[in-house]
Structure 1
């Protein structure tokens, strides 16, 4: 068993530039986080996009779907910004045959992985575990829970994902 990890940007890979007083998407730290965690499962990282999820287009979502569909791996983790993660889950669910039979887990963070108090390492670990154990389908791993990708929403009032 091996794992495809697709990075798309989002908070998990954000940097803070004092001079600019804003966050920007930087080089992905996902491979470093997985190596620090000593993940023994063979994995391959594809840095596909470096975007805030609010800036993702239909063409970007099509590229995510195509990358997962073309991959030889039957299990994939996609790092993604939390604001439109459910939109990408819906695009993957709508892809049908292209991703049928694959276990796909979307994951993000509410604080950048570069921050000491980030939820990113925990969420990423949950996603790797879910990708190994969940049935084929589209899942979202956030807040210590694995959600059905078709039955989840982000509740901005509590800044957390909840089943719907």
Structure 2
């Protein structure tokens, strides 16, 4: 069993940082938060990193999702971690699931940017990596809020923003 994981950045709150421009108010999507987290922790295994785009998930397009599938398919790595904005994370997971050719793929994100002291980013990345190491077989999953669920068995509660497993 290989501990090799391809980590794909698409953007979203998890990767947001303060603006570089003086006087700016809007956050910018910057370097991969997952890469920052995974390279500073003493983890075994081999992590490869790839950026597809750096977008707010509400700006994700069909072409972005097609590019994501293309990168997943082209990689020889069987375990994939996708960081994504939470607003359309399930939409992208659905698209990837419809095009998955036998890989284990886990989507995650964060409610607050990784740079915030009280961000859930590091926890969510850890849960996603743990899921990739524990789930046997293939499929597309969502790892959010301390829970891992198949993409089609989770919904996002609009009021709280939490991802909830469907019963």
Whether 1:53 aligns to 2:47 is no
Unaligned 5+ residue runs, structure 2?
none
Cα displacement string for residues 36-77 of structure 1 (whole angstroms, at most 9, x for unaligned residues): 122211110001110000000000001111111111001000
Q: How many residues align?
A: 161
Q: How does 1:1-40 map to 2 (within 5 A)?
A: 1=2, 2-17=4-19, 19-40=23-44
| Secondary structure of residue in 1 paired with 2:77 | coil
Name the counterpart of 1:110.
Answer: 111
Distance 2:61 2:152 in 1: 20
Residues in 2 aligned to 1:64 and 1:91: alpha-carbon distance in whole angstroms: 10
Provide the TM-score with structure 1 as the length reference.
0.94
CA RMSD of superposed structures (Å):
1.2
Q: Which consecutive residues of structure 1, in runs of 5 or more, have no partner in the other structure?
A: none
Displacement of 1:35 in angstroms is 1.4
Deviation at 1:16, TM superposition (A): 2.3
Rounded Cα–Cα distance in structure 1 between residues aligned with 2:155 and 2:61: 19
Instruction: Give the ranges of 4+ consecutive aligned residues of structure 1 lying more than 4 Å apart after TM superposition.
Output: none
Matches within 5 A, 1:116-135: 116-134=117-135, 135=137
Q: CA–CA distance in 2 between the matches of 1:120 and 1:156?
A: 19
The residue correspondences of 1:68-83 to structure 2 (distance < 5 A) are 68-83=72-87
Indicate which of 65, 71, 76 corresponds to 1:67. 71
**Secondary structure of the structure 1 residue equivalent to 2:18:** strand
Q: TM-score, normalised by structure 2?
A: 0.92
